[in-house]
Structure 1
């Protein structure tokens, strides 16, 4: 028995534990007949079998075994399968656009098969004679159901507008999906923002983040309190199970320590929400940046006079405080080759173009010269004073003038030294760009900024430590990079260039950041 088990361990890669199987529909036998495993076939990617056995869930190299039993796949006409479930915001437009672009890029013929409003499939074929290569099945619902399908082994990829909850991650680990909080188990596909929208004729043009929270808590219930007409405010949000709605609770309501009002009208789709707000002269909603349609977007402002509008650039840099990264989550198991190729394609430069054209915010870095950053420079001048002499601002301008700011920025989770989700993705993006030689012969400067709480000298030191931590994380991730091919520096200017008011948790969060400047 020991010899048999040793042979099994040598031949197989154990990826997780599972309960004893109730049925056994395949038998895998090594070419020399020395090892034989029976179990329930969980999947086949064209190269590897995934089998639930009495020893747990095992992944077996198909080249080393023969398969017998009713569950054995057809090796000659193998069709790869990929099940994707979750956020309708991502599933309705973004993922289909990427699948179609991926097929076009590889010369595949593609067919879309619609089952109902939530379920559809993409079939990929070779151009001639038209053999089917893959079936990508979609269930476009919400983030909660996407994670539920992933945990139930009914989906290979979950689409979400929020990070996985600790309870979901724990259940996933117990189910053998691996550590779903690990960087390798998720990916930021694109970026989005949570935008306050009103009807086009509404005279109100701006709202503070605190006011927005109080509106959706029902504490501010008249437009007169916001400079508008003396009329009641109608509230609109997506369904509670929506990832965007949950992100509103996490990023807007929780920091304000306020509950959502019970008078909110809920909608299943972003388009339905925006349509309702557009028809309601006294309504307000929080919509996805990509789905604001004909509604009027409100600018976020603060008591100090700073304002932030949701744009591609402010969302990409996370300067806009209510950003919503769009995640793909996948378990620690091998996906079919064509599925892996598709996921790799979603990170390519051409995929970033597709993401932009679909109305979402891509992650391709852009360079912004100092000369077109007038609002930021005005903010810097505004905070000059005894604690922050004008001479220090002049030194900052002299340092940054020959450089351009990358839209790749880094921020930390509230009350933590850990980078937030978008920033962790940015570490990988920047590391891959460095490894690929995108910045060879150039200079990268990691520049730390802080909020204005406390002495300016102390804030500069904190900002410097954050910039050094981000530099170290990027260089650690860029394992194959040659550091001699580029120059890397670290600078810190503390509170010298605020993006938002320091009178709120949101504003301070936006101001605490590490930027990348290039020459």
Structure 2
């Protein structure tokens, strides 16, 4: 007879059998099932903020960085809450590395930086003065070292595909979202109550819309607007509502219809790739990563460098956003153009970059400083460093048109000085004053957009 066993012996035996069975089952499962589970303590970088960046672009850039670093077995796991992801990979010696991304809105990124719970803040709008002051102990958050423009985007105003409306100006848009215009018949479309769809208060998309549209006209969002944290869910809801209208980042138009938008005296513009790349489209915006100016995290520095690289900008484009890669574009000639500008459009190509300046300053802004290097690389690759470039300066309206023209030419000359240091010689420098505005001159942000320098090449 087999020896008798105590109850404790039997419990030990059953635990052993269970362990062996579990081990055989685990052995049969693919490694990816286990690799997708978060491992405490393996995070090398924490990114928090914009849903626009964090939902798709941020993870795509992190994956690209891991590939460039030679890591393998790259995967994605769900984070601790909705709109949170863990991007992980393995080093050659089998060590697991992960980067955490939480996408709850731009404002949360700056709060997380202040609390020390994030290394980078992802934002779909510039840092606010109040946020920069709150983070002053970390350094100047508006400096070139702290502020990284990684991509361009445009806010698309979206409708149901069957809505016949094709264009609105920013004043009408503000009236719609404030509830002052509440029926489609007031805009020339078939009658019906207008249903509003908007991002939530933490969203940089909402902050941008509020700044460019609502606050610029002294309006506030109507209380009956339906609010969303998810860009995809908002877009899908509008595309299913014949009376719906919403605003969204360019990659999230999905099945909805985009409207052409005009600001002030500008022509109505659809959110096209070229018009957003040059930031001429009235609702164009920049996408940012913010950190301490002297970032000590090597993974953060590597991510910045990768995001600005040609491969990183290719990922920006693949993710549905607008890359900052310089390209040449033919511009259709139209009768509203000044005569000299028409001749330029007939014979030359415009480059997909505009130079803009710091607010209240003649100094180039942070994006323009990086664009100088991108432009020089393009001109060198295309053999156009000598006598092929035309700089065209523009400005906001002045009481004296001659002064407006002079100031616009001085802006072009400021860009010429920087490029001349690298050996570029120019075919012409032109100042067109307040011609061809891309935004209203009645607001500060509109005047800043109109103070620009275009680059053309023969």
Calculate the TM-score normalised by the size of structure 2. 0.82
C-alpha distance in 2, partners of 1:413/1:487?
24
Change (3 A) 1:399 1:272: closer
Does structure 1 conserve the Cα–Cα contact (< 8 Å) formed by 2:313 and 2:323?
yes
Which structure's relative contact order is higher, taking Cα pairs within 8 Å and 6+ residues apart? 2
Of residues 83, 91, 104 in structure 2, which corresponds to 1:118? 83
Question: Deviations along 1:119-177, whole A, 9 cap, x unmatched?
Answer: 22122322x44333x32111111111111111111111000111112221112113xx1
Partner in structure 1 of residue 32 of structure 2: none
Counterpart mapping for 1:121-270 below 5 A: 121-126=86-91, 128-132=92-96, 134-174=97-137, 177-270=138-231
Give SS of 2:164's match.
Answer: coil
The 10-residue stretch of structure 1 (461-470 or 317-326) with the greater mean CA deviation from structure 2: 461-470
Does structure 1 conserve the Cα–Cα contact (< 8 Å) formed by 2:362 and 2:411?
no
Of residues 411, 421, 435 in structure 2, which corresponds to 1:466? 411
Partner in structure 1 of residue 390 of structure 2: 445
C-alpha distance in 2, partners of 1:484/1:252?
42
Partner in structure 2 of residue 490 of structure 1: 429
Partner in structure 2 of residue 39 of structure 1: none
Partner in structure 2 of residue 108 of structure 1: 71
Deviation at 1:100, TM superposition (A): 1.5
Deviation at 1:333, TM superposition (A): 4.0
C-alpha distance in 1, partners of 2:228/2:362?
34
Give SS of 1:483's match.
Answer: coil
The 10-residue stretch of structure 1 (109-118 or 481-490) with the greater mean CA deviation from structure 2: 481-490
Partner in structure 2 of residue 429 of structure 1: 371
- Alignment root-mean-square deviation, CA: 2.8
Does structure 1 conserve the Cα–Cα contact (< 8 Å) formed by 2:120 and 2:300?
no
Change (3 A) 1:399 1:314: closer
Deviation at 1:398, TM superposition (A): 4.0
Deviation at 1:503, TM superposition (A): 8.2
Does structure 1 conserve the Cα–Cα contact (< 8 Å) formed by 2:326 and 2:375?
no
C-alpha distance in 2, partners of 1:272/1:303?
31
More strand by percentage: 1
C-alpha distance in 1, partners of 2:142/2:213?
23
Give SS of 2:168's match.
Answer: strand
Deviation at 1:207, TM superposition (A): 0.9
Deviation at 1:336, TM superposition (A): 3.5
Deviation at 1:470, TM superposition (A): 3.7
Deviation at 1:509, TM superposition (A): 5.7
Question: How many aligned residue pairs are there?
Answer: 413
C-alpha distance in 2, partners of 1:171/1:509?
25
The 10-residue stretch of structure 1 (349-358 or 439-448) with the greater mean CA deviation from structure 2: 439-448
Change (3 A) 1:108 1:471: same
Of residues 215, 218, 240 in structure 2, which corresponds to 1:279? 240
Deviation at 1:487, TM superposition (A): 4.0
Change (3 A) 1:236 1:347: same
Does structure 2 conserve the Cα–Cα contact (< 8 Å) formed by 1:236 and 1:284?
yes
Does structure 2 conserve the Cα–Cα contact (< 8 Å) formed by 1:320 and 1:510?
no
Name structure 1 gaps, 5 residues minimum: 1-77, 381-392, 476-480
Deviation at 1:114, TM superposition (A): 1.7
Change (3 A) 1:504 1:222: farther
C-alpha distance in 1, partners of 2:175/2:363?
28
Partner in structure 1 of residue 336 of structure 2: 379
Calculate the TM-score normalised by the size of structure 1. 0.73
Deviation at 1:506, TM superposition (A): 7.7
Give SS of 1:112's match.
Answer: strand
Deviation at 1:112, TM superposition (A): 2.0
Partner in structure 2 of residue 55 of structure 1: none
